[in-house]
Structure 1
């Protein structure tokens, strides 16, 4: 089985009416950081809230001020709304592709830590790189969840589509595949987000379940430039032919 490691997004869709489910690797450790987040958000301390959310104006914070344990829920892969998710275009996928994306994508949230795409979460705001009270999210989740992820991924192949920052949440210790995107011979940054979304979409649409199947997959707008193997990492370098 192929599992895809993926990044979250700063922007998110509001609302949600899904039922609560058990989260990937769910345990009391996650409750610690969620409780701390909830305490800050509902503290009436405007400066602490603005700092956590990364906003200068308190009015921008107001949509996110709620009790996270009694808020509308939505699957993580539908909640996030950044560039990668725009190009994934989850809503337009067929039902089988949606289920594959929900079951096989692991998203590394700044608040919730590792989540399956189908895990349901509340609307929240944590600026990337910010602490949550005394908690440093990337260190916290790496310390508390790495062993569980090692076990969960033990019999899986891994396609790592995370942005570099989210490597801090979990270090892959077994052979895995990652991607690099070039345009005119130069590494792209912003459009890399778009192509990560397009790659995830292609994986879901084509029912890709193994590294072998992925290697044989032709993705519109991309051509393979080279394949590098460095220790346990196989890096596929793509040229962007068009967007």
Structure 2
């Protein structure tokens, strides 16, 4: 099973790992594209105003540009510990047992605007780049990633659980993946997408999938794991699930 998580805009600072080694990351087929993007992003960081504009940042976020300037030299941390925020708080990998953490590292991966996709143990630096950004000379990240990332993900033979958000799903289509979305339901039965519930419940589902001793192989197995975790799940189509939460 491959559970594909969305990344987060916020990243933990620092790290205990050596500087980035692209050859050590999973999916070596993506190395050339990763290097091209890192070089473009670190070069862009030499021009702070241009970086702020391209990345959609305010002047108060100039430290994010500095992170990009130090991509090759800054310390690294495992991907599942680098990303922070609501989803990763709910996932809470640091509280998993040793056996569960091993399963999390094997089963969970993170979609990334900079790295395409990384596995849980891949050591990466803090950076700032979003799926909807464009970089000078390269264009949109969708145009950069789709030709190289889609073939890599298409080769995954296991059950793929797609928890990515829209901007990251656009970087690579995965035709046979099980898509999961989260909707809130009010007292009148009306449903809508909401950011906080979306992230926290996807984090809960990811944690349950990391903890379950038997790796799910079918959509039915996936539903059972979600139900056991206390999530209300509905099957919208053969490979589409919806987690419903009260507004």
**Pairwise TM-score range, normalised by the shorter structure:** 0.7 to 0.9
* CA distance in 2: counterparts of 1:97 and 1:238, whole angstroms: 23
User: In 2, are the aligned partners of 1:50 and 1:57 still within 8 Å (CA)?
Assistant: yes
Q: Any residues of structure 2 matched to 1:29-40 within 5 Å, and which?
A: 29-40=33-44
Q: Any residues of structure 2 matched to 1:1-243 within 5 Å, and which?
A: 2-19=1-18, 20=21, 21-24=24-27, 25-41=29-45, 43=46, 45-57=47-59, 60-61=62-63, 64-135=67-138, 136-151=140-155, 153=156, 155-174=157-176, 176-184=178-186, 185=189, 186-190=191-195, 191-210=197-216, 211=218, 212-217=220-225, 218-224=227-233, 226-229=234-237, 233-240=238-245
Deviation at 1:139, TM superposition (A): 2.2
Runs of 4+ aligned structure 1 residues displaced above 4 Å come to none
- The runs of 5 or more residues in structure 1 that have no matched partner are none
Deviation at 1:128, TM superposition (A): 4.3
* CA distance in 2: counterparts of 1:166 and 1:156, whole angstroms: 20
Deviation at 1:214, TM superposition (A): 2.0
Deviation at 1:65, TM superposition (A): 4.9
1:46–1:180 distance in 2 versus 1, CA, 3 Å: closer
CA RMSD across the alignment: 2.2
1:50–1:241 distance in 2 versus 1, CA, 3 Å: closer
Q: Deviations over 1:37-84 (max 9, x none)?
A: 11112x2x2211212443221663365254211110011111011211
1:207–1:170 distance in 2 versus 1, CA, 3 Å: farther
- The runs of 5 or more residues in structure 2 that have no matched partner are none
Deviation at 1:142, TM superposition (A): 1.1
Give TM-score scaled by structure 1 length. 0.86
Q: Deviations over 1:79-112 (max 9, x none)?
A: 0112111111111111222222222222111111
* CA distance in 2: counterparts of 1:142 and 1:180, whole angstroms: 25
3-state DSSP of counterpart to 1:181: strand
* CA distance in 2: counterparts of 1:139 and 1:51, whole angstroms: 20
User: In 2, are the aligned partners of 1:37 and 1:133 still within 8 Å (CA)?
Assistant: no
User: In 2, are the aligned partners of 1:54 and 1:126 still within 8 Å (CA)?
Assistant: no
1:219–1:188 distance in 2 versus 1, CA, 3 Å: farther
Q: Deviations over 1:182-230 (max 9, x none)?
A: 3323133221111000100111112351234322222444223x3122x
Give TM-score scaled by structure 2 length. 0.84
Q: Deviations over 1:7-34 (max 9, x none)?
A: 0000010001224422324432221111
User: In 1, are the aligned partners of 2:26 and 2:122 still within 8 Å (CA)?
Assistant: yes
